[in-house]
Structure formats: structure tokens, C-alpha cells
Amino acid sequence: MTAQDVIYRVLRHCAQIRPGYIASPELLNDCLLEWTALWDSWELDGNMSPAPVRAVYAFPANGGYLGTFRDFEIGPGAPDFNGALPVSIKKANLLLATTPTSRLPLAIRNWEQYGSIAVLTLPATGVTTELYYEPASPMGIPSAAFGIIHVWPPVSHGPSLEFWNDGSLSSPVTLNTIVSFAHGYENATVFSLAEKVQYLCPKEIRRPNPKLAAWALKSRQSIRNANQSNPKARSDFQTGRRGGGSTSGNLTLIGDL
């Protein structure tokens, strides 16, 4: 289905258009903007974003876009790690090229901890122990389109980076964008969006639907319940979907990946 098909459902639940009618282009675009804002807020909530996904990237031989062997751009089309742009990184490991393959858990640091490292410039080796992720932002450097993964100490080409991040919710760009939903997300999106946009609709047709708030709350809660019961929310991430997970220094042999 297209984004406009979904918005048609939204407006029908708002009781603002009759069956078979088409809303004005201005109202359709208003709904599209609210959809972007809605999913953006969900991505900040670990129990509303889709289940964590695993990513693996080999460290580039050139040492990253700055040649420092500790700073690497990530995102669609990025020169270092070309892939999906993480919202945040929950758990990370260094994958060592051993037989069998082994994991070295990395400590996830925040900007203040990373900014307190006294000596950044060291010779690159085959092992790093700490990671700080700098998400992309409109004022980002060097590019708003890419996030930056910082590791310390600098790591040479050979091992790979493995991490988990929440699945992303990419809102449609245009009304003709084809949309697919994970289980439970279609109703949650329709009812939550209807709850938001009903006050943008022409009031002369009908009053707002008093049941929308209850439908929206129930559909969102079903997603939260499903995400909380996901084994990854309890075992891999001991402090919940938004927690930092285990950062112990134990080396774990996991066989071939």
C-alpha cells in the first residue's frame, strides 16, 4: 500500500472524509508531516522501535575518512561503513579474525567519557576496547547524512565491528511511497496518527472521534508488550532495550560467523 492509502484510513477513522472521497492535497501533506514526527518520537523510545538488528562491518584499511584509525563514518553511502544509519548503538563487540571467531565486548561510552580520553593518537593495533557513537544531525560534521563511530584505542585493518541497534522506522517521503509494516505497527500508526491529526481536519464535517485515544493507546501498548517479551530485551540487553548491555572484558568464543 502507499502512504496515501494509509492516510485515507487515518482520515476515515477521524470521520473527516466520506467513503471513496479524496482529501485536499494540503491536508494529505499535513498528515504526512505528522507521520514523520510520530515515527521520529517512536525511534527515541526503545520499546516502540522495532526489535534490535545486528550489523557487522570490517574496519577499512585506510583508517577511516580521516585516516585516524579511530573515526569511521556510517550510513547509506558512507565511505567507511556503508549501511543503515543507527539511531543508537546498544551493544558492540570486536570480532577477531581467529579460528574459531571470537568476540571481545566493547565498552559503550558517552560523549563526556570519550571527550575525557587524555591521549587519542596512538599506534593502531588489532584490538580496540571502547566505542562512542555520534549520531547524524542537521549540523553534523563532516556530513549530516552520516553518523560517526569513534573507537579507542585506534584499530588497524583486520578485525570487524559487530553491534546491535534498534530497528529503524523510515517514514514515507511522498504520498506515493510504498509502505510496509512490521507486525502490529499498521494499526498503531493509523490510530496514533488519527489521534494527532483529527484536530487539523475540517471541523464542519464531524466532531473528533472520542474512541481514537483509547484505540491508539491500546495499539501502542501491544507493541510495547511484544518488545518487552522479546528475549533480546532481557538477555542480550540486561538493562532493557535502552540499556548499555554488558561491557565485561571477557573474550567469548562463538565459532564461525
Same domain, 7 and 63: no
Q: Which three cell numbers stand for residue 210?
A: 472520542
Q: Which helix (H) or strand (E) holds 9?
A: helix 3-13
- What share of the chain in percent tops pLDDT 70? 82
- Residue 185: how many CB atoms within 10 A of its CB? 20
* Ordered alpha helix ranges (H), 18-126: 25-43, 111-115
Same domain, 161 and 177: no
**Is a pLDDT exceeding 90 seen at residue 93?**
yes
Q: What is the mean pLDDT of the chain?
A: 81
Q: Which domain holds residue 36?
A: 3-48+169-232
The whole model's pTM is what? 0.63
Same domain, 160 and 57: yes
Give the DSSP letter of residue 82: E
pLDDT at 40: 83
pLDDT tens figures, 113-129: 999 999 989 999 999 99
Same domain, 58 and 160: yes
**Is a pLDDT exceeding 70 seen at residue 144?**
no
Helix, strand or coil, per DSSP, at residue 166: coil
Q: Which amino acid is at 239?
A: T
Q: Which three cell numbers stand for residue 181?
A: 509494516
Same domain, 106 and 157: yes
Same domain, 63 and 90: yes
Same domain, 154 and 183: no
pLDDT at 123: 92
pLDDT tens figures, 4-34: 999 999 888 887 777 888 888 888 999 999 9
Closest CA to 242 of 182, 176, 175, 165: 165
What does DSSP say about strands 252-253 and 130-134: parallel, antiparallel, or unpaired?
Answer: unpaired
Looking at the domain assignment, is residue 252 inside a domain?
no
Looking at the domain assignment, is residue 31 inside a domain?
yes
Ranking 55-64, 152-161, 196-205 by mean pLDDT, the lowest is 196-205
pLDDT tens figures, 36-91: 999 888 877 777 877 778 999 999 999 999 999 999 999 889 999 998 888 788 89
Ranking 53-67, 222-236, 243-257 by mean pLDDT, the lowest is 243-257
**Is a pLDDT exceeding 70 seen at residue 217?**
yes
Same domain, 84 and 175: no
Looking at the domain assignment, is residue 249 inside a domain?
no
Looking at the domain assignment, is residue 195 inside a domain?
yes
- Residue 183: how many CB atoms within 10 A of its CB? 9
